[in-house]
């Protein structure tokens, strides 16, 4: 059966059809150009991507329909926290706005190619990063690409980067539910992705877009590990008093998660020192280990790791029963 992209119109012919992007029902669809230019039939590179991903124990996708909610900040600090005792890779698929090299403090580094593929840039011994920013000649160079070129680079990242033996691959995505998200979902559909972590902030203007992201995940069969509410409150570094900067007029991320029947992983307070650490390429978790935000990060991290471990145990049990 042909794949039906997210936000598809009624009577969508599907991405594998010869009429994909060309039929009358495709007119006005946001995916029309992607479908029209995508090669038809099984993608010959999917097998290579699946084989590459099979060497990685856990794959997590960080999403949010809304920009500016802190996806990259969360991704970076999740990576820092997990890398304390695990091998972590981070893939930045925000092609037009790659910020992770700055957050990790590895701006200006170069990607090297070997016989086994592209070598990611190492932030430290347990943490590596791949981003389009490493392929640009200048930090302020704009990436002005249409969908097919962005999709091609994402495929190359997933197929050709030599991550080595790692425990977690974290995939940081741009806002929305468009080219980059469809590519990630399509290329990894046979790679046993653990799931998506959806980031929001408390105000309704963010929740409107985040609800769409959850719907997108369901349409492309991407499991949802849970929702994280970022910037839920401001905790003063000196007096420790908590203040609501972005009031939750409709109940915030937790109420939205309940309404949409997805797990709620926790809330992260707003701390100005997080922004400072991102600007200077440092880990907030090690710079300010006793802060309420650090404790909140660690609680959320433990839930994510627990989810992945339980999922592994469940798969092993199913495999054991099938082999009996």
Residues 6+ apart with CB under 8 A from 187: 43, 45, 46, 49, 154, 155, 158
SS3 label, residue 113: strand
- For the chain, how many structural domains are there in total? 1
Chain segment 27-45, per-residue pLDDT in tens:
777 777 777 766 555 678 8
Q: Flag whether 31 is in a domain.
A: no
Look at the chain and count its residues.
Answer: 324
Q: Flag whether 118 is in a domain.
A: yes
Residue 9 has pLDDT above 60, yes or no: no
Q: Flag whether 12 is in a domain.
A: no
Percent of all residues in the chain with a pLDDT value above 90, rounded to a whole number: 69
The pair phi, psi for residue 258, each rounded to 5°, is -65, -45
Tokens 């802060």, residue located: 291
Q: Flag whether 10 is in a domain.
A: no
Point out the least confidently predicted range of 6-20, 62-76, 156-170, 173-187. 6-20
Inter-CA distances, 73 with 24, 237, 309, Å: 42, 19, 24
The pair phi, psi for residue 134, each rounded to 5°, is -75, -15
- Answer whether 164's CB lies under 8 Å from 136's CB: no
Q: Burial level of 315, CB count in 10 A (0-12/13-18/19+)? A: exposed
Give 75-86 as a DSSP string: HHHHHHHHTTTS
d(CA 230, CA 99): 18
Q: Flag whether 7 is in a domain.
A: no
pLDDT at 40: 59
Torsion sign across C-alpha atoms 215, 20, 35, 223: positive
Say which CATH number the domain at 309 has: 3.40.50.300
Which of these, 269, 273, 263, 262, lies nearest to 297 by C-alpha position? 269
Chain segment 253-303, per-residue pLDDT in tens:
999 999 999 999 999 999 999 999 999 999 999 999 999 999 999 999 999
Q: Flag whether 22 is in a domain.
A: no
Q: Both tokens of residue 163?
A: 């991550």
The pair phi, psi for residue 137, each rounded to 5°, is -75, -30
Q: In terms of residue numbers, what domain contains 72? A: 44-322
pLDDT grade for 1, boundaries at 50, 70 and 90: very low
- Predicted model pTM: 0.86
Residue 122 has pLDDT above 50, yes or no: yes
pLDDT at 74: 98
Higher-confidence position of 191 and 11: 191
DSSP label at residue 231: S
Report the relative pairing of strands 195-200 and 168-172 from DSSP bridges: unpaired
Which of these, 41, 45, 43, lies nearest to 16 by C-alpha position? 41
Chain segment 153-180, per-residue pLDDT in tens:
999 999 999 998 899 999 999 999 988 9
Residue 7 has pLDDT above 80, yes or no: no
Q: Flag whether 19 is in a domain.
A: no
- Answer whether 62's CB lies under 8 Å from 265's CB: no
- C-alpha atoms less than 13 angstroms from C-alpha of 225 in its C-beta half-sphere: 28
């Amino acid at each position: 059966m042909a794949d039906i992209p997210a936000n598809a119109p009624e009577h969508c012919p599907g991405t594998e059809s010869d009429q994909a992007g060309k039929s009358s029902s495709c007119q006005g669809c946001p995916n029309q150009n992607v479908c029209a230019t995508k090669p038809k039939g099984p993608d010959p590179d999917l097998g290579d991507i699946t084989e590459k991903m099979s060497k990685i124990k856990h794959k997590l996708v960080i999403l949010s329909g809304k920009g500016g909610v802190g996806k990259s900040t969360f991704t970076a600090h999740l990576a820092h926290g997990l890398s304390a005792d695990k091998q972590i890779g981070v893939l930045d698929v925000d092609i037009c706005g790659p910020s992770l090299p700055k957050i990790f403090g590895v701006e200006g580094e170069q990607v090297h190619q070997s016989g086994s593929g592209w070598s990611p840039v190492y932030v430290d011994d347990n943490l590596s990063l791949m981003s389009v920013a490493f392929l640009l000649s200048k930090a302020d160079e704009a990436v002005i690409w249409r969908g097919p070129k962005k999709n091609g680079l994402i495929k190359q990242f997933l197929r050709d980067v030599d991550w080595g033996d790692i425990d977690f691959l974290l995939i940081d995505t741009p806002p929305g539910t468009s080219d980059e998200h469809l590519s990630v979902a399509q290329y990894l559909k046979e790679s046993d992705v653990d799931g998506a972590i959806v980031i929001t902030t408390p105000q309704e203007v963010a929740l409107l877009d985040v609800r769409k992201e959850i719907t997108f995940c369901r349409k492309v069969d991407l499991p949802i590990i849970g929702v994280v509410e970022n910037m839920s409150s401001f905790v003063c570094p000196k007096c420790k008093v908590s203040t609501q900067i972005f009031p939750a007029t409709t109940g915030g991320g937790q109420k939205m998660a309940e309404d949409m029947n997805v797990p709620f992983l926790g809330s992260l307070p707003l701390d100005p020192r997080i922004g400072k650490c991102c600007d200077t390429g440092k880990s907030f978790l090690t710079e300010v280990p006793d802060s309420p935000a650090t404790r909140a990060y660690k609680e959320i991290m433990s839930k994510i790791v627990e989810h992945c471990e339980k999922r592994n145990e469940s798969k092993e049990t199913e495999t054991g029963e099938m082999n009996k």
